[in-house]
Structure 1
Amino acid sequence: MANQNAIILSTLIGQLRSEIAPDMKEDDYFEIFSNEQILKEYDLSYEEILKGTIGKGGDGGIDGLFIFANGALLDIEETLPKFKGSLKIDLTLVQSKNETGFGESVIQKFISSAADIFSLEKTIDSLKTVYNEDLLNHIQLFRDVYMSNITKQPELNINYFYASKGEEIHPNVSRKIDDLKTIIKSYFNNANFSFEFVTAEKLLKLSRKKQKESFTLKLKESPISTEDGGYICIAKLDEYFSFITDEDKLIQKYMFDANVRDYQGATVVNKDIFTTLKSENEFEFWWLNNGITILTNQASVSSKILTLSEPQIVNGCQTSFEIYSYFKEKSIETDPRSLTIRVIVTTDEKIKSKIIKSTNSQTAIPAAVLSATDQIHRRIEEYFKHNGLYYDRRKNYWKNEQKPIKDIISISLLSQTFKAMILQEPHISRAKPSSLVKNEEDYNKIFNQNYNIEGYLKLMKLQRRMEKHLILTDYLGKGEVLNIRYFVYMHFVLNNRINKAGFIDKNVKEYFDEFISIDFDSIRDIEIENSIKTVFDIYKNNGGTDGTAKAKYFTEAVIKSILKPETKLQADIK
């Protein structure tokens, strides 16, 4: 059976690779596949998985490294968020071997690297001769989030995974896990440590775990039906817990994709919800809570069983996660209390967007975040689809449709590319990518119904072309590509315009229209190589650090290398 599982797994991976990553080496895709399956409960995008896939020379036996704070993935491109209340840090470290066995050498590498990366006495600089830049950047992020929140006494979970196509684990291999645990505990004695061998059978099981399309919820009372096909319901807390979790009792996060706020962790409000769950047993829960709002394409009720098609929880995310925590942490099986649920049935995207905005506007959320469901994003998605690209307006929709990794475009990537190529602010693209859709002023400059939609497609096709050259440039490390990519985009566009005067006497729409008119396809690849070399030289001459890539002076130096000395760098954008 062990050999049978390995054969089936190899066939599955081969077919998936041919569909979504045909240009990727087999071993490299096995790393992506393993990371995706192991972290399936987090529902990560390919973009997020690729950022955490760090396996290459000097990786300390670690192919994947992912840091979660209160259940949310930390991005090495983002500024470290501020956390309110308590903090739980989950550090996931993965080794993926495209072979049919588990070896001692992998555990030994884990042990050796753990003695370095978890020792706070050893600076990141002192480890640069031993480990690659990607690993050290992630370890720096881990140290930053842990040390900057030390007064919160964060809960720390360090979880190792070793994945292969094997099934049997020799005792000589498994006995080394205690040595790794001892190392971890010597540096973080209060940390929770776990280690799992991820076999071919486990990888197959995880790969078969798909998003459900139809869900059922047992109701406490017959619901009130509305004229438009919706329902107002009351359900017991334990039944709702079953509704939002899978067979392994893990929360099904994709049910919350439309809830733009996501789970906010241990805020005062959420603590109050949890306290109500834990101690207010003499009151009905729905008396003290606003309840849940669910959007669905189709709903029906039979014998107090509510059936929903592709439900999205658009209000009540915080309540849902606190109910989940209450049942999981307290190991509670039943609870007679109830909560109210509003079920709204519609397939109209405009109505859905309006509901999402309305149900998420009762707290101070930037308008731009709520605008992520705007009509313009649906237009971009449709236009891209007809031209061979897939706009990830609905996170992981195209990933689940098994579209090629290289053809899936996130909202964040489109925003960063626009900011660099058109708004000439690549340092903002590098330093504050999330702010581009959270800040209303930035958002409205990037996503505007009056822009020619062809320009967005042209931006991303050009970005894909340049990104391929950046990745294949042998003198650039992954961290250096990350730091200079947006500056290269800007340099190439500016350097190949007839009028190299920046935004002088132009507003954004006029500049974007001019960008669209340029025939970039006729420009030779050597010009991309020249932009890469020029920008990299400027980067190194200005310090060559993460700080350089986030600084406005780097942007100004790149622009100055193109414009004539007497030309004003950049006028105010109208």
Structure 2
Amino acid sequence: MNPLIQGLFNKFKESEELQRVNDDDAFELFSASLMLPDNLLAQAEKTDFLLDAGTVGIDIVALEINEQLAWDVSDVREICEAAGKIDASIYFIQAKRSTSIKSADILAFGSTVQRFLRNDGFPEFPRLQELASALGVVFSDYAAILKSPPSVYLHFSTSAPKAATDDPIVAQRAEEVANGIRDLGFVGRVNMEVIGADDLHDAWIRKNHANEVELQLEKQVNLPKMPGVDQAILGVVSVAELLKLVQADDGTLDERVFYDNVRGFKGEENPVNRQIINTLTSQERDLLPVLNNGVTVVASSYTPKPGDAVAVSGFQVVNGCQTSHCLHLSRESLGDAVMSVFVPIRLVVTQDEEVATRIIRATNSQTAVQENDLVALTKFQKKLEDYYKLDPADVKLIYERRSGQFYSAEVTKTRIVTVSDQLRSISAVFLDNPHSAARYTARLYDAVGTSIFQEEHKLLPYVASAFAAYRIENAFRTGLDPIFKPARYHILMACKYQILGGPSARLNSPKCEEQSAAIIQALKQPEQVAMFRAAAESVVAAAGGTMPTSDRLKRQQFTQELISLLMREPQTSAPGHPAD
């Protein structure tokens, strides 16, 4: 393997704690980490993307519906039933560590992808079959609300030199694969890439280096000095200049720059966004600076350039996600007007986390925002972040209160606990709510949001639950059968019952703190695989001797059946609120 790529691969394995995963699987995950959108990668553990052992032709499949990962038919129904319109994309990766590229492998990749898209069946590979069936349900049950046919992205990833990826025969085979998929007639955009060592390195740079851009401000006003603020500028920029902030080198939208924007894109059919797009395609587009609030950008550093240009790095678009997306979608219809239509911009340069947080909250509180979107900015969250830093329990986890704050830091990625991770683990371990823990974040917050992150809660239970989630992922890497992965949150709950000999106390109780310490102590003992396997066997026993289906795992009734088995008598306390 190219020594540069080998070095990056080794660094990836170290940061993701994949040293005990075989190199072929680890390279598949390395490729996925570079090819898949960050918002999808954040929704799952890396190893969740691995398919059944022995799967031939495809190594990674990710089905995205309305920016959410869907793993099976149950997920598809849950996402689609709550949506008026749906966007769907499907990502396929075939990863080979080889420094050469075989045409036959490219064609086999394309053939397997076609078979998947037609849902021809993979009875020998259950995980792949679940994903193919999930996409099939999108077509069979939700075609009427698809905004457009699903987009298909194919990445054939290797460590081959540029001469191999540029070979005319390789390019011809890749085009044959793309055309064959287009000819199916029921998919939309098809993008096929053959990735080599240079491409992997470029992708690594894009994913792991701080963003930097030079902007030409048409007009600007420097604001007076303020505490904690290195520089603050009000101005206007052309659409073309703004797109430099929000687009990647290949012209696609760079979702990384919206990490700290608490609202994701609400879609073209959203009334406000439809109005922005209509304005951009009408004769009134020159009025955009007075019709639109523009964007707010927070950057960590700033350098003035000749004229009215500035160079900014480490930046985030903390307000203006909707405007940015609409401008990106309208860029072609604007044509040359991208240079003459202007957008208001507020640029704040600060290295003070507290100042940045206040800006995010202020700029996002002027219009309706779901409370769970701002949860990361609460006093309790800051207190929890500081508690993780102090690490009195010596678990060596890092709490990521604001998305992406450790994006370029030298940390072990698997030890980062996001707000979503914390939501899921505390729900499963201490609220006895594992059936909700696997849901996507907004639905999970609706289910348990009033029961968590309360000012009077003890902090150690949050750390203990996150540590349990971290340890079970390690167990899956070191011997726990991946067949139990869909039940991971039920296993975590069962493990708590087995450690404590019963339910846990309320989160504001001193007893809960004592129980949390006991859980952490048990989790630090050797033979973690055996401990989690015993908990998994309880889950299987509660299901009647076989692994429960995904649909059954999402039902409260099964949680109650599991608790009854664990207690060996009917549960008398309400789930999540056992008696002290």
How would you bin the TM-score normalised by the shorter chain? 0.7 to 0.9
- Once the two structures are superposed, residues 34-65 of structure 1 have per-residue CA deviations (whole angstroms, 9 ceiling, x without a partner) of 122223x6465466472663244353411122
Identity among equivalent pairs (%): 19
Deviations 1:188-245 (Å, cap 9, x if unpaired)? 3553333221112221222233443554321112325234252221222222222333
One of 134, 158, 164 as aligned partner of 1:141: 134
Aligned residue identity for 2:20: D
Between the aligned partners of 1:357 and 1:427, the Cα distance in structure 2 is 32
* In 1: Cα distance, 2:450 partner to 2:136 partner: 36
AA aligned opposite 1:195:
M
1:10 matched to 2:6? The reply is yes
Deviations 1:276-322 (A, max 9, x none): 11213464211221222223445565632234453322221100111
Q: For the Cα contact (< 8 Å) 1:293–1:342, is it kept in 2?
A: yes
Displacement after TM superposition at 1:328 (Å): 4.9
| Amino acid across the alignment from 2:57 | G
Contact 1:274 1:326 in 2 (8 A): yes
Task: State yes or no: 1:532 paired with 2:536.
Answer: yes
Classify 1:343/1:192 alpha carbon distance in 2 versus 1 (closer, same or farther; 3 Å).
closer
1:398-547 alignment to 2 at 5 Å?
398-431=406-439, 433-436=441-444, 438-439=445-446, 442-470=448-476, 472=478, 476=481, 478=482, 480-497=483-500, 500=502, 509-510=509-510, 512-518=512-518, 521-522=521-522, 525=527, 526-541=530-545, 544-547=548-551
Distance 1:103 1:231, change over 3 A: same
User: Structure 1 residue 337: deviation in Å?
Assistant: 1.9
Cα displacement (A) at 1:272: 1.5
Counterpart AA for 2:237: A
- 1:419 deviates by 0.8
Contact 1:296 1:311 in 2 (8 A): yes
Change (3 A) 1:416 1:231: same
What per-residue deviation string (whole Å, max 9, x for no partner) do you get for residues 125-145 of structure 1?
A: xx3523231x23333333344
1:53-64 to structure 2, matched below 5 A, reads: 53-64=49-60
Which residue of 205, 209, 212 corresponds with 1:208? 205
TM-score by length of 1: 0.85
2:376 and 2:402 in contact (8 A); partners too = no
- The Cα offsets for residues 433-484 of structure 1, whole Å up to 9 and x where unpaired, read as 5433x43x7234221333332332222223333343355556x4x4x42322
Give deviations 1:303-353, integer Å, cap 9, x for gaps: 322344533222211001111222256655743121212234544434433
1:27 partner amino acid:
D
Q: Specify the SS of the correspondent of 2:2.
A: helix
Distance of aligned partners of 1:84 and 1:192 in 2 relative to their CA distance in 1, 3 Å threshold: same
Deviations 1:342-384 (A, max 9, x none): 2345444344333323322344432122122223333433443
Q: Which amino acid aligns with 1:161?
A: H
Alignment CA distance shift 1:339-1:527 (3 Å): closer
- Per the alignment, residue 295 of structure 1 pairs with 298
Amino acid in structure 2 at the alignment position of 1:138? L
Secondary structure of 1:222 counterpart: strand
Supply the AA of the counterpart residue of 1:452: K
User: Is the Cα–Cα contact under 8 Å of residues 63 and 71 in structure 2 kept in the other structure?
Assistant: no
Displacement after TM superposition at 1:417 (Å): 1.3
Q: Hey, what's the Cα distance between the residues in 2 that align with 1:160 and 1:569?
A: 50
- The answer (yes or no) to whether the contact 1:423–1:508 under 8 Å persists in 2 is no
RMSD, matched Cα = 3.3
Flag structure 2 segments of 5+ consecutive residues without an equivalent: none
Structure 1 420/565 Cα, relative in aligned 2: closer, same or farther at 3 Å? same
Report the equivalent of 2:264. 262
Match of 1:132 in 2: 126
Q: Deviations over 1:159-210 (max 9, x none)?
A: 2221112232666665544654465245335533332211122212222334
Contact 1:390 1:398 in 2 (8 A): no
**Equivalence map 1:70-109=2 (5 Å):** 72-76=67-71, 79-81=78-80, 88-109=87-108
CA contact (8 A) 1:60 1:112 kept: no
Q: Which moved more, 1:59-68 or 1:85-94?
A: 85-94
* Maintained 8 Å contact 1:20/1:403: no
String of CA shifts for 1:107-150, please: whole Å, max 9, x gaps: 34334423432225x4xxxx3523231x2333333334444442
- Maintained 8 Å contact 2:156/2:193: yes
Higher relative contact order by CA 8 Å / sep ≥ 6: 1 or 2? 1
**Equivalent-residue separation in structure 2 for 1:557 and 1:199 (angstroms):** 51
Counterpart code for 1:158: V
Q: Retained in 2: the 8 A contact 1:84–1:265?
A: no
Q: What letter is aligned with 2:30? A: F
Aligned residue type for 1:295:
V
Shift in CA distance, 145/561, structure 1 to aligned 2, threshold 3 Å:
same
Corresponding residue for residue 155 of structure 2: 161
What CA distance in whole angstroms lies between the structure 2 residues aligned with 1:173 and 1:215?
34
Q: Aligned residue pairs: how many?
A: 554
Tell whether 2:561 aligns with 1:563: no
1:23 partner amino acid: R
Q: Specify the code of the residue in structure 1 equivalent to 2:2.
A: A
Among 28, 34, 38, the residue aligned to 1:37: 34
Write the distance in 2 (CA, Å) between the matches of 1:115 and 1:249. 27
Determine which of 49, 58, 62 is the counterpart of 1:66: 62
Residues 61, 28 of structure 1: alpha-carbon distance in 2 compared, 3 angstrom cutoff: same
Summarize the Cα distance change of 1:173–1:449 in structure 2 as closer, same or farther, 3 Å threshold.
Answer: same
Equivalences for residues 269-418 of structure 1 within 5 A: 269-281=272-284, 283-297=286-300, 303-328=307-332, 332=336, 334-385=338-389, 386=391, 387=394, 388-418=396-426
Distance in structure 2 (CA, Å) of the matches to 1:384 and 1:507 = 17
One-letter amino acid of the counterpart of residue 8, structure 1: L
Q: Distance in 1 between matches of 2:34 and 2:115?
A: 28
Deviations 1:43-99 (A, max 9, x none): 6546647266324435341112223446x3534385315687865433221100011
What is the match of residue 117 of structure 1?
116
Q: Distance in 2 between matches of 1:253 and 1:115?
A: 28
Report SS of the residue matched to 1:530: helix
2:346 & 2:384 partners in 1: Cα distance? 31
CA 1:494/1:309 → structure 2, altered by over 3 Å: closer, same or farther? same
Give yes or no for contact 1:20–1:402 (8 Å, CA) kept in 2.
no
Q: Alignment partner of 2:567: what SS? A: coil
Q: Which moved more, 1:422-431 or 1:98-107?
A: 98-107
Q: Give TM-score, length-normalised by structure 2.
A: 0.84
Structure 1: gaps spanning 5 or more residues:
none
Find the aligned partners of 2:464 and 2:263 in 1 and give their Cα distance.
Answer: 31
Q: 1:25 aligns with which of 19, 22, 25?
A: 22
The CA deviation string for residues 516-540 of structure 1, in whole angstroms up to 9 with x for no partner, is: 2426535774444322212122235
- Residue 376 and residue 466 in structure 1: after superposition, are their counterparts in 2 closer, same or farther (change >3 A)? same
